[in-house]
Structure 1
């Protein structure tokens, strides 16, 4: 996730300390008033999405993969419909020369916020979140039932003990020990389940928040790339977390 900073990062590189007022989601940098104005005038950055820093303090900003893994200084600005992949301009002549439709990313992601891809992915995360929430509550209820059952069982054992001869006292103590051990073992396992499910739940909730945030505040490029990044994540979470 991007980190909030109160100072302009561009000016800081020139050993200047100016207060930042906006955050560029494309560059992932905080900008002062002067840099914001330059950002909006420069041809290469005027289409970038700038966000008020006050909103960033309350929100989580998803980072995105924006540079090619091979050509690290070249941004991913194109989408090949034939190979279903995002690529940089350097790859087009060598890898996509025979492909019919290689679109600018802005064109490919133009309607992403209202697309079925967004709706399906976001819905999947929500459904997984509900299932995980149900599992967590179920495990908590089991813990509560076990906590309540122990004193009741022990009371029954004590009542039984008063009607039995002294020779069975050893057996009574063993029953109590077994009950306590069984309860501890089960509670430990259930709490472990709760911890593991909660971790997955938090992850799923965060991914849903990322998508919701980008839909409301992010650029089409960011949301499109984040959806592609999360696509495989849905399939990985479903079978493991809902077992």
Structure 2
């Protein structure tokens, strides 16, 4: 794992700092081995997806599973007409006339093998390379600027002495 250590969320809420060994993507929380055992044996969490904690560092963004309008409602549907995720309340209120509302699981099926996904991956790699190149150019510019500063200071000192 990188420099960030994820603490068990359950232990943290009990004022303990124990390192997490697994991460539940549904709870959006880390678990130590003891709390993980309880989590896996709770009926409500049997369908949750638990991943290795080392993978969490590779996750670059986090999408909330809860509706922004109805914070107590879970996002369950995807509206193709509006290209938006929605909960049951939003679906009934705002997307009643929409034709293409499907469960998120159906919309996400085979997404990793789609052409659009491959294009996004390629674009992200290209952007990563561009950011890296810009960082290198910045370092060179700062270095060159520092060298120029030293040269100009020497020239000023030389001129002062000659005057």
Q: Same fold (TM over 0.5)?
A: yes
CA 1:174–1:90 in structure 2 vs 1: closer, same or farther (change >3 Å)? farther
CA contact (8 A) 1:22 1:36 kept: no
Match of 2:23 in 1: 23
In 2, Cα distance between equivalents of 1:59 and 1:34: 24
Can you list the C-alpha shifts for 1:113-139, whole angstroms capped at 9, x where unaligned?
A: 222333223322322222232223233
Secondary structure of residue in 1 paired with 2:66: coil
Give the Cα separation in 1 of the matches to 2:12 and 2:129: 44
**1:69/1:173 CA distance change after superposition, 3 Å:** same
> Where do 1:164-183 residues align within 5 Å?
172-173=159-160
Q: Partners of 2:152 and 2:67 in 1: how far apart?
A: 64
Name the count of aligned residue pairs.
149
1:4 equivalent to 2:6? Answer yes
Higher relative contact order (CA 8 A, sep 6+): 1
For residues 190-209 of structure 1, the aligned pairs below 5 Å read none
Distance apart, 1:173 and its partner CA: 3.2
Secondary structure of the residue that 1:79 maps to in structure 2?
A: strand
Cα distance change of structure 1 residues 37 and 131 upon mapping to structure 2, 3 Å threshold: same
Where 2:76 maps in the other structure, the secondary structure is strand
Q: Distance in 2 between matches of 1:12 and 1:135?
A: 39
Provide the C-alpha distance between the structure 2 equivalents of 1:137 and 1:12, rounded to a whole number of angstroms. Answer: 40
Deviation at residue 28 of structure 1 after TM alignment: 1.2
The 3 A distance-change label for structure 1 pair 151 and 5 is closer
Task: After TM superposition, give the deviation of residue 81 of structure 1 in Å.
Answer: 0.9
After superposition, where does 1:13-92 map in structure 2 within 5 Å? 21-29=21-29, 30=31, 31-38=35-42, 42=43, 45-53=45-53, 55=54, 59-61=57-59, 62-92=61-91
Deviation at 1:101, TM superposition (A): 1.7
TM-score, structure 1 as length reference: 0.49
Higher helix share: 1
C-alpha RMSD of matched pairs (Å): 3.6
Distance in 2, Cα, partners of 1:72 & 1:97:
20
Report if the CA contact (8 A) 1:21-1:33 is conserved.
no
